[in-house]
Structure 1
Amino acid sequence: MRLAHDVETVRSAERALMARLPEGALMQRAAAGLATACADLLGKVYGSRVTLLVGSGDNGGDALYAGARLARRGAGVTALLLSPDRAHAGGLAALRAAGGTVLDAQDRNATERVGRADLVVDGIVGIGGKGGLRPRAAELADAARGTVVAVDLPSGVDADTGEVRGAAVRADATVTFGTYKPGLLIDPAREYAGALRLVDIGLELAPAETGLEALQYADVAALLPRPTGESDKYRRGVVGIVAGSARYPGAAVLAVAGALHGGAGAVRYVGPAADAVLARFPEALVSAGPPAKAGRVQSWVIGPGLGDDPSGLHDVLASDVPVLIDADGLRLADPATVRDRAAPTVLTPHAGEAAALLGVTREQVETERLASVRELAARYDATVLLKGSTTLISPPDETRPARVNPTGSPWLATAGSGDVLSGLTGSLLAAGLAPLDAASVGAHLHGLAARHAADGAPISAQDVAGALRSAWQDVTENLFA
């Protein structure tokens, strides 16, 4: 599992480690890892041109010491100081001793140096920075034509939240130290970070201090439901789907498609699109309703394509099994009723739906994704999956870490893909996964299926549903062979 920690936790761990190490040893560890990553990106260090954008803090010191290492290997290294009177003294001395050049960032040749560099190292602002870059720093960063490497995180992005409130460095790669920072994994900041490389500097971080998690293949494989010799369709879990309408019968078909590929043993469909569902999936169990009379289920999914018809919502929310609410169901469900449920609830809004639920603008949700998903989870006492460029999942307990899904694809921005995700996640709930795990695994498989289906070309929601099987195999083939 990929773990991320907030700035306060990282700073505390750094202080504890520095108290046990010789002075400057921690910075040298970081600089060594940074220099190695830069050398790998350059390929040939000797004769290359490297420009360092150096701010006033330790982030700038890391860049200077790394630059000194590259200079000793034959690179032509120039440091541009944005705050010359506050630059790291030890780093400056090391760079000069290695033959590097030091210039004031206001020098008339500074912009040209950046533009001619094979590699530009962003050491402007560290993880404690807030707000966008100052004008000169932004101008120099924009002049880069070579590979841009950010030190710890791109300057101008918020390390804890992933927010970008002004000009920021767009890196091709980010070399981060000790642990990932939440902002590196959450959009919009994630788009500024490029490829991530983690350098171990010896920080000791307890699992309880984790602020954000991202499941990897092994984590997902360990959570996937697998039938045993004693399994039957009921033991594997039955998911109920309340979806579709005369206007939107396809939503029901897509939700059922996601559910049938999600690991449960059977799918019960309740709603007006029964004919469409049976035509596509004869194995589905259909009912005229109401949900309370449809038969036993281990989870319910309600909302995709429902329109303005709230019938069935009372039965579903009154049930004693996990419920996933999506699309129109989010608009129709009473917040107090959701909060008062004894069984778990999962909400799966996109940014526009989340904005409506929170009473804010869509732009605010997209800018403050982590804060938004946390607030929704707290308000509804539910697990919330916020769809978007990076999918975030928050449990209702704010002391537990949220999760971010790394597998999403822009090709998922297609009508009906959310319906597939709802059915898939509901099926995982029926199979017995806890709400946070079901939502996280569902998002992971959904994104992976889109990658498999697309292969660089446009896809439909049906393509995503059809590729869930290959995504499942991709995750498990090397672990359960």
Structure 2
Amino acid sequence: MRLAHTVAQVRAAEAALLRDLPEGALMQRAAAGLAHAVLDFLGGGYGRRVLILVGSGDNGGDALYAGALLCRRGAVVDALLLGSSHHEAGLAALTAAGGRLVRTVEGQAPDVVVDGIVGIGGRPGLSPGAGAVLAALEGIAVVAVDVPSGVDVDTGELVGSHVRADLTVTFGTHKVAHLVDPAAGACGAVHLVDLGLELPPAEVEALQQSDVTALLPRPDRNAQKYSRGVVGIRAGSDTYPGAALLCVSGASCGLAGMVRYIGLAADAVRLAHPEVVGEGRVQAWVVGPGGSDAAGEALRAALADGVPLVVDADALAHVEGPLGVPAVLTPHAGELAAMLGVAREEIVARPLAHVRLAARRFEAVVLLMGRHTLVARPDGRVRVTTTGLPWLATAGAGDVLAGLVGALLAAGLAPWDAAAVGSWVHGAAATRASGGGPIVAGDVAHALGGVLQSLL
């Protein structure tokens, strides 16, 4: 599990560790990890030119000590001081190792810029002076120290100017900004340096492959099709028959023992999926993909069975409050904006805050689809999906995901687990199907079996 802690949690853990360490030892650990990451990024140190942007506080100190280590590996290291005060011991270490202090960024361009301007304790946004320096260095690779300067660390929001890094080297644990967009998009690749911190549970986390493997349902030796779970699909319409096919394709991944379909696309569904049957008892429903005007009635019919359900697409417009059954709601940003009565731009700018708000308001698990999909519980805990790729932004992909999550619900997973595991597998299937190129939603559905086989 990749855990993302808040600034307050990290500060408390650092303070506890510092009581047992010699003065400066924690900073030296961070600096060593940073220096080695920069060397890996550059492919070596000898003759490389490194420019360190140094702000006030410990973040600048980490960068300065790392600069001293880079000097000893043959790099040419310059430091530009920003702010009113600086880490004096770090400055002394850098200059003693052969590093230079510079006043401007003019002259020969560096191979990499190390962003040590603002650490995790800084406020969002950059000063005009720092912003001007970064503008002058546009096009040069950036390695950020702990977080890209200027992002909101605890929310993942972007307010004002900020650094956009190619690599972020963070210490002790991931922070929320590393996982949650839009700030996560400014981090580039994220490299974690272990500092040995003792950390409390985190409210934001990201499943890894081993977590997904452990959570996936498996049939016991005496299993039969009903005991493995039956998922029902109420989807599709005369206008959108393909949505039904795609949703059924996601549900027919093999995780549930049976798939039932009710809707106007029954003939097309059974032609493509002869194993799918009609009306009967189910352990979970999926409602809404391509449902058009009939989505409200489909939702009411599904709710009457009192079983867990996935509410997607057109059915989301009929969710006005808690549904009274375990539920997963799967909106994209526009749909969530309509549900909460806010502008879509607000959802995009503050996805973590809004997905948590929706989970509380509707007393359901809410899966907010996006580059990094967020899956929130009513108690505020959130899982972030980091699998997938931009080609997954294609029509019908959400229908496949809804069916997959429904199958996991029917197979016995709790809503939060079903949504998070389904989202992870869906993203992994898209990556497998893509091979780096374009895909359509049907490709994702067809790749689910291979991903699940490799996991199980």
Q: TM-score category by the smaller chain?
A: over 0.9
TM-aligned CA deviation for residue 54 of structure 1 = 0.6
Which residue in the other structure is 1:71 paired with? Answer: 71
Which residue in the other structure is 1:52 paired with? Answer: 52
TM-aligned CA deviation for residue 24 of structure 1 = 1.3
SS in 1 for 2:453: helix
TM-aligned CA deviation for residue 76 of structure 1 = 1.2
Cα distance in 2 between the residues matched to 1:135 and 1:262: 56
Task: Answer yes or no: is the 8 Å Cα contact 1:116–1:145 preserved in 2.
Answer: no
**Aligned match for 1:360, one of 323, 342, 345:** 342
TM-aligned CA deviation for residue 199 of structure 1 = 0.5
TM-aligned CA deviation for residue 345 of structure 1 = 0.8
Which residue in the other structure is 1:290 paired with? Answer: none
Q: C-alpha offsets along residues 97-147 of structure 1, whole Å, 9 cap, x if unaligned?
A: 1111113xxx3xx2225x611121000010122222222212322315443
**Aligned match for 1:279, one of 267, 271, 276:** 271
Q: 120-129 vs 327-336, which deviates more?
A: 327-336
Task: Answer yes or no: is the 8 Å Cα contact 1:151–1:175 preserved in 2.
Answer: yes
Cα distance in 2 between the residues matched to 1:318 and 1:19: 59
TM-aligned CA deviation for residue 262 of structure 1 = 5.0
Task: Answer yes or no: is the 8 Å Cα contact 1:248–1:305 preserved in 2.
Answer: yes
Cα distance in 1 between the residues matched to 2:289 and 2:140: 47
Pair 1:172-2:152 in alignment? no
SS in 1 for 2:151: coil
SS in 1 for 2:123: coil
TM-score, length of structure 1 as denominator length:
0.92
Pair 1:298-2:318 in alignment? no
Which residue in the other structure is 2:382 paired with? Answer: 402
Task: Answer yes or no: is the 8 Å Cα contact 1:246–1:273 preserved in 2.
Answer: yes
Which residue in the other structure is 1:102 paired with? Answer: 101
Cα distance in 1 between the residues matched to 2:249 and 2:72: 60
Letter in 2 for 1:159: V
Q: C-alpha offsets along residues 315-356 of structure 1, whole Å, 9 cap, x if unaligned?
A: 2123321111000110023324x1xx1x31110000000111
- Matches of residues 231-270 of structure 1 in structure 2 within 5 Å? 231-261=223-253, 263-270=255-262
Pair 1:325-2:311 in alignment? yes
Q: C-alpha offsets along residues 351-371 of structure 1, whole Å, 9 cap, x if unaligned?
A: 000111111111110111111
Q: C-alpha offsets along residues 183-210 of structure 1, whole Å, 9 cap, x if unaligned?
A: 111111112111111101121113x3x1
Which residue in the other structure is 1:2 paired with? Answer: 2
Which residue in the other structure is 2:13 paired with? Answer: 13
Cα distance in 2 between the residues matched to 1:262 and 1:102: 62
TM-aligned CA deviation for residue 148 of structure 1 = 1.3
TM-aligned CA deviation for residue 454 of structure 1 = 1.2
SS in 1 for 2:293: coil
Pair 1:119-2:118 in alignment? no
Cα distance in 1 between the residues matched to 2:185 and 2:65: 27
Cα distance in 2 between the residues matched to 1:409 and 1:42: 26
SS in 2 for 1:319: coil
Which residue in the other structure is 1:479 paired with? Answer: none
Q: Give the aligned CA root-mean-square deviation in angstroms.
A: 1.4
Cα distance in 1 between the residues matched to 2:361 and 2:345: 20
TM-aligned CA deviation for residue 73 of structure 1 = 2.3
Task: Answer yes or no: is the 8 Å Cα contact 1:266–1:284 preserved in 2.
Answer: yes
TM-aligned CA deviation for residue 42 of structure 1 = 2.0
Cα distance in 2 between the residues matched to 1:181 and 1:257: 36
Identity of aligned residues (%): 59
Cα distance in 1 between the residues matched to 2:372 and 2:157: 13
TM-score, length of structure 2 as denominator length:
0.97
Pair 1:196-2:195 in alignment? no
Q: 1:334 to 1:144 in 2, by over 3 A?
A: closer
Which residue in the other structure is 1:93 paired with? Answer: 92
Letter in 1 for 2:151: V
SS in 2 for 1:407: coil
Pair 1:382-2:364 in alignment? yes
Task: Answer yes or no: is the 8 Å Cα contact 1:429–1:435 preserved in 2.
Answer: yes
SS in 1 for 2:452: helix
Which residue in the other structure is 1:224 paired with? Answer: 216
SS in 2 for 1:60: helix
Task: Answer yes or no: is the 8 Å Cα contact 1:239–1:267 preserved in 2.
Answer: yes
Gap regions ≥5 residues in structure 1? 287-293, 477-481
Which residue in the other structure is 1:27 paired with? Answer: 27
Q: C-alpha offsets along residues 80-103 of structure 1, whole Å, 9 cap, x if unaligned?
A: 0012x4011111111111111113
Gap regions ≥5 residues in structure 2? none
SS in 1 for 2:113: strand
Which residue in the other structure is 1:312 paired with? Answer: 298
Letter in 2 for 1:420: V
**Aligned match for 2:433, one of 453, 464, 474:** 453
SS in 2 for 1:111: coil
Cα distance in 1 between the residues matched to 2:410 and 2:337: 29
TM-aligned CA deviation for residue 26 of structure 1 = 1.1
Which residue in the other structure is 2:396 paired with? Answer: 416
Cα distance in 2 between the residues matched to 1:144 and 1:18: 37
Pair 1:149-2:149 in alignment? no
Letter in 2 for 1:215: L
Task: Answer yes or no: is the 8 Å Cα contact 1:262–1:428 preserved in 2.
Answer: no
Pair 1:468-2:444 in alignment? no
Pair 1:347-2:347 in alignment? no
Letter in 2 for 1:95: L
Task: Answer yes or no: is the 8 Å Cα contact 1:262–1:424 preserved in 2.
Answer: no
Q: 1:262 to 1:329 in 2, by over 3 A?
A: farther
Task: Answer yes or no: is the 8 Å Cα contact 2:288–2:298 preserved in 1.
Answer: no
Cα distance in 2 between the residues matched to 1:452 and 1:49: 38
Task: Answer yes or no: is the 8 Å Cα contact 1:76–1:100 preserved in 2.
Answer: yes
TM-aligned CA deviation for residue 211 of structure 1 = 2.4
TM-aligned CA deviation for residue 43 of structure 1 = 2.2
Cα distance in 1 between the residues matched to 2:130 and 2:388: 32
